[in-house]
Amino acid sequence: MKKGALVRTLASAVVLAAFSGTVYSQQEVKIGLLATLEGPFAAGGADGMRGAELAIKQRNGMAGGRKIVLIKASSDAKPDVAVNATRKLVEQDKVDIMVGPLSGGEGIAVKEYSKTQPNITFINGSSGAQATTLVNPSTNFFRFNTEGAQWMVGLGKAALDKGYKRVMVIAEDYAFPYSQVQGFMSEFCRIGGKVPLKAWVPLGGKDYSSVIARIPKDIDALLVVLGGADAVNFLNQYEAAGGDKPMIGGSITVSQDVLNYKGKRRDSLVGTISAGPHADAYDAPEWKAFVADYQKNYPVSSGAYPTPSLFALVYYINMKAALDGLDAVKGDLSGGQAKYRDTLAKMTLKTPVGDVKLDANRQAIGTAFITEVVKDAQGGLHNKVLRKVDGVDQMLGMKKEDFKVGSRDEPNCP
């Protein structure tokens, strides 16, 4: 008898919790925010949340005449965890708009989930896998940030300008680096560059000695598309092994995480070219205002970075899109949010790094920045802007028939 009583009490408690989550007023808009707050991308996820919150703060928590209620969720870069968290936000907490997730694999999984919830609008966080909007896109999943391949447009030419004709690729073995390498190589190969060897390193592997041993003598530079810990590690081991080839960085390689790392080897990074959706030293007024706003609201003492990271910027852009859209429809989310989504698909979003429009797959067409690492007066490292390329679309300037999603073997020009 008692065991059943325990189970029943548990059940009623759960039911109560379930119903208590659905109380909300007609005047509020609930936005769910998902980022990775655990695991290897935890620092990036925390910054992403800061970016998103900044977008809300800038409008005093209102959009379209309605109050914004933000509900946060966390994942740990695992797709199943991300879907569970999204499902909870959408079905249990009843959010109207969903912003997230952070990593590529999660993005694909959340996109698939979004197809089961046609009346909710899903906007990307910072996930940058090509397949999310190119393969089986979802009609209610919007991505206002450019993805991994788009970020690298222009870098191929910059590499050849620096005299790098033969480049070796060292990248982690998953979808995001594939897209980064494709973005680089599609241009580089076309204008005469050669990539004799690609070394795909298993995720989480820390021992680069084998890869370093295989670096051929006759290459001019290394394209290193490693993120966070792996990049730091590689640089260390490469220097110790007597390596001296210059490096070309992927978008997450010479990001804040790496430029800020607590070690003595950062000086070797000066002069590295890279490409990405932003650059610290970009001097447009919108960008400067964004950086100042970030620094004012999130001083370094609170755990934030000295300047906003890629994650902060991209989450900010996507959240801003959500809020701008709400403004445009004056807060009208009725009719299964059809009008809202229509507005999102057609609008031109003003971001700190230029204008963004969406293509037919609801993927952003935006700007890529080519950067070079320089040291400033205080001894800190940051990225100086060499050039920027506007209007980069997901086809990378190729015709649709010629385009293939980046993979381990595609593209190829040995």
Partner 1 sequence: MRFRQWAWTLVLAVPLAAFAAWAIWDNAKLFFITLLNGLTLASLYFIVASGFTLVFGLMRNVNLAHGSLYLLGGYVGFFVAEKSGFFTLALLAGFVAAALIGLLMQVAVFRFMQGEDLRQTMVTIGLSIVIADLLLWGIGAQVHQMSAPDWLAGPLRGIPLITAYSKYRMALLPLGIIIGVLLWLFLNRTRIGMMIRAGVDDRGMLAATGVNVNLVFATTFAIGAGLAGFGGVIGAVELSMVPGEDVRLLLASLIVVIVGGMGSVVGAAVGAIILGVAETYGLAYAPTYSVVFTFVILVLVMAFRPRGILGQAA
Partner 2 sequence: MNAGAGRLAMGKQGQTTFSASSGEASEKRGLSLFPPVRVATEPWQNPVRAHHLLVLVFLIAFPIFATPFLTYQIGAQSLAFGLIALSLTFLGGYGGMISLAQMTVAGIAGYMLAIFGMSGEAALSLGWSWWIAVPIAILIAVIAGTGIGWLSVRTEGIYTIMITLAIGVAFYSLCLQNYSVFNGFQGFQRVYAPTVLGINFREQTPFYYLVLACAFGGYFLVKYILRAPFGVALQGIRDNPRRMNALGFHVIAHRVAAYAVAAFIAAVGGVLLVWYNGLITPNSVGTSWVINILIIAVLGGMRHPIGPFIGAVVFVLLQTFAIDLFDRERFNLVIGSVFLAIVLFSPDGLLGLWAAWKRKFLKPRGGIK
The DSSP result for 308-352, as a single string, is --HHHHHHHHHHHHHHHHHHHTTT--TTTTHHHHHHHHHPPEEET
Question: Least distance (Å) from partner 1 to the CB of residue 242?
Answer: 3
Binding partner of residue 84 among partner 2, partner 1, none, CB cut-off 5 to 8 Å per kind: partner 2
Binding partner of residue 17 among partner 2, partner 1, none, CB cut-off 5 to 8 Å per kind: partner 2
Nearer residue to partner 1 within complex by CB, 18 or 300: 300
The tokens 């190729």 sit on which residue?
Answer: 398
DSSP code for 130:
T
Question: Least distance (Å) from partner 1 to the CB of residue 356?
Answer: 30
DSSP code for 14:
H
Report the phi/psi class of residue 180: left, alpha or beta, with left for phi > 0 and alpha for psi in -120 to 50: alpha
Nearer residue to partner 1 within complex by CB, 15 or 241: 241
Binding partner of residue 88 among partner 1, partner 2, none, CB cut-off 5 to 8 Å per kind: partner 2
Q: Which of 222, 145, 153 is nearest to 182 (CA)?
A: 153
Nearer residue to partner 1 within complex by CB, 202 or 379: 202
Question: Least distance (Å) from partner 2 to the CB of residue 16?
Answer: 11
Nearer residue to partner 2 within complex by CB, 17 or 292: 17
- Return residues touching partner 2 (CB under 8 A): 1-4, 6-8, 10-11, 14-15, 17-18, 21, 37-38, 42, 72-74, 78-80, 83-85, 87-88, 91-92, 105, 108-109, 112-113, 135-136, 173-175, 202-204, 408
Q: Which residues contact 398 (CB under 8 A, 6 or more apart)?
A: 186
Question: Least distance (Å) from partner 1 to the CB of residue 105?
Answer: 17
CB atoms within 10 A of CB 94: 15
Nearer residue to partner 2 within complex by CB, 211 or 356: 211
The DSSP result for 343-386, as a single string, is HHHHPPEEETTEEEEE-TTSBEEEEEEEEEEEE-TTS-EEEEEE
DSSP code for 261:
-
- Return residues touching partner 1 (CB under 8 A): 39-40, 42-43, 173, 199-202, 204-207, 209-211, 213-214, 228-229, 232-233, 236-237, 239-242, 257, 260-265
Q: Which of 97, 89, 93 is nearest to 22 (CA)?
A: 93
Binding partner of residue 284 among partner 2, partner 1, none, CB cut-off 5 to 8 Å per kind: none
Binding partner of residue 246 among partner 1, partner 2, none, CB cut-off 5 to 8 Å per kind: none
Nearer residue to partner 1 within complex by CB, 38 or 91: 38
Nearer residue to partner 2 within complex by CB, 82 or 353: 82
Which H or E run includes 392?
strand 381-392
The tokens 């390689």 sit on which residue?
Answer: 253
